[in-house]
Amino acid sequence: MDVEVLAASRLRFDDGTPVRAASAVVALGDGHLVVSDDATHAAWCRDGSVTAVRLLPPVEGHEVFDEASGTKALKPDLETACRVEVDGEPAVLVMGSGSSPARMRWCLLRLDGGRPTTVVADASAVYTRVADVLGVDLDVLNLEGACVVDGALRWFHRGLPSAGLPSGSVDVDLADAVALAVGRGAAAGVRVARPRHYDLGSVHGVGLAITDVVALPDGRLLASAAAEDSPDPRDDGPVVASALARIRGDRVLEVAAIPELDGAVVKVEGLMLLGADDAGATLLAVTDVDDPDAASWEVRIRVSR
């Protein structure tokens, strides 16, 4: 598997402010939505314009969160964005990472007359069930990616391999998840099953852990992974490597490094499939640079077989 960076640019809103801490990217209408893990709003990229889309109300009066201001514990940590359907119409499900009540909310986005509308659901009981099925403590749960596989929502736990917590996934009943997101079901009724764990290897002694996943037409998955030397799932650390992994079922078939940008490792946290053919796939990736004042990268990547 060969990985080539085709193009890269910094993400900024139309007023010039940076799109911070990009954690997921997903198609929305005639553009794509970039979710940030330290903000209550996302960035909608269309025709060269980048505008803010509200996902959550302010948290104790704050719209953005960081360690320097003492607000990091409040952040919703929205890490996952996945295309779903509601009543036969496309929608986007955005989900928090878990590990604390602040990070256990789901946002469902739909377009109404071309304008995004959002509803929010408390999914705490789902996170408790996921932690139980994966066999991890709730306070280390770190769910960072999801895709639809065989009619189920496959939800990926990043883990912390260097601390003995491997990356993993569970299958969430898709109909149950959508019902909860739109307010037609209860979190306690969402079915979670089929735990899997993945070994992606390590770089310089730091384990690679899954940060996002997309499904390919042939049934295989492509996952982004980062080797981040952090003490726990909530605190940042130096990223020594970033990679893509090809997965089928619970088997990691192949791992290949993502080239550096401007001489530095890029921490890819979000993937979107732009197209696939017999020769490979083209992806749109977004990165978290772990600096609240810096704009995230948006990168077009070609993966060849």
For residues 138 and 42, what is the distance between their CA atoms, to the nearest angstrom? Answer: 26
Residues 295 and 10 sit within 8 Å (Cβ to Cβ): yes
Closest to 176 in 3D by CA, of 154, 156, 191, 194: 191
**CB contact set of 161 (below 8 Å; sequence gap of 6+):** 167, 199, 200, 202, 206, 207, 208, 209
- What is the per-residue pLDDT for 38? 93
What percentage of the chain carries pLDDT values higher than 90? 85
For residues 165 and 175, what is the distance between their CA atoms, to the nearest angstrom? Answer: 29
263 — pLDDT class (breaks 50, 70, 90): confident
For residues 192 and 136, what is the distance between their CA atoms, to the nearest angstrom? Answer: 14
What percentage of the chain carries pLDDT values higher than 70? 98
pLDDT tens per residue, range 216-257: 999 999 999 999 887 666 667 788 899 999 999 889 999 999
Mean of the pLDDT values across residues 128-134? Answer: 97
- What is the per-residue pLDDT for 232? 67
**CB contact set of 104 (below 8 Å; sequence gap of 6+):** 96, 98, 122, 123, 124, 126, 127
Q: How far is CA 171 from CA 131, 134, 198, 283, in A?
A: 12, 11, 14, 24
Mean of the pLDDT values across residues 269-285? Answer: 96
Task: Give the amino acid at 244.
Answer: L
Least confident of 132-136, 211-215, 291-295: 291-295
Mean pLDDT of the chain: 94
Residue 164 has pLDDT above 80, yes or no: yes
pLDDT tens per residue, range 66-108: 988 999 999 999 999 999 999 999 999 999 999 899 999 999 9
pLDDT tens per residue, range 167-176: 999 999 999 9
